[in-house]
Amino acid sequence: MPHMSSKTQDIHQAGPPILVRDVWKGRHTFHTLCCNITVMKVVGQKGPWFTFISLVTGVLLHLIAIEPYFAVKTYFLSTVVVVGLWFYALYVFLCSWLSDPGILPRKQSTYRQKSGPYRQSPPNPQYVCSSGRRVKLSYCSTCEMYQPPRTAHCIMSDSCVMRFDHFCPWIGNTVGLRNYKYFFRFLISGGFLLIDIVISCVARIVAHVSPKATGDENELVFIAAIFILIFAVIFFCFIVGMIVFHSYLQATNQTTYENVNSRWINGNPHGYGWDIFMELMTSVNHSKFPANGDTNKLIL
């Protein structure tokens, strides 16, 4: 029987492989749900629960107190719209809260673990070419690695996040490369949902105070409509501001982190929104693949 090395024996005796999440050094907890779906949360964040409870209770109160008045008049079409927007807003909210924002795993053994509490000095500077421009890579002394372009270390989650935008306390997660689309869709769907609620509450209040009102004298419903309207307007103003700001960021190809820190005051090396749009509309055969059957003339 051939002799097995100690390393081979350790592999065979180690059992199942250790998952990355089991040795994750950031401030995250991992939970496996049904159908083997794994979600991640930043430790100690209570803001998402406030957002979730407000979204659920606010819409339920609207459906119970305000919506029956319009359901009969619109043959339940208004109810279908509200419920559809509500479910979609909940879906994208959960995705932005519980999904990976684009975290880069750090080294398994850091310099501080080997040599004490002192941080490792950054190595020689490294550069990459982005959109024809020379861009210097930043070095993260916490994760001990060179960060790809537009990557930053999030203090709240203690991890480097690709295309770091900001940390949002209302979703309890960092907004980055992989969950920015869910975050922006949550803003859009929440905005449309609040528009529907505001219009419904205003129409219900007008119907109640109108001198021609018939069957609309329920004072409890009237008070509920005013209460819902006040909170809906407050949240609507906040969400509209966020939508406008992030639309501007997308149009100029920036992140919140880059905009606040004026990273591209001398020009964005990654291009602007109009440049990206023109490239998408005018680029033809960008990869320069050879014609069919001519595999020996690949042009790089």
**Residues with catalytic function:** 168
Query: DSSP readout, 21-72?
Result: GGG--SSEEEEE-GGG-EEEEETT--HHHHHHHHHHHHHHHHHHHTHHHHHH
CB count within 10 Å of CB 126 equals 13
| Helical packing angle, 47-65 and 219-251, nearest 10° | 130
Per the CB < 8 A criterion, the answer to whether 43 and 29 are in contact is yes
Per the CB < 8 A criterion, the answer to whether 174 and 161 are in contact is yes
Per the CB < 8 A criterion, the answer to whether 174 and 164 are in contact is yes
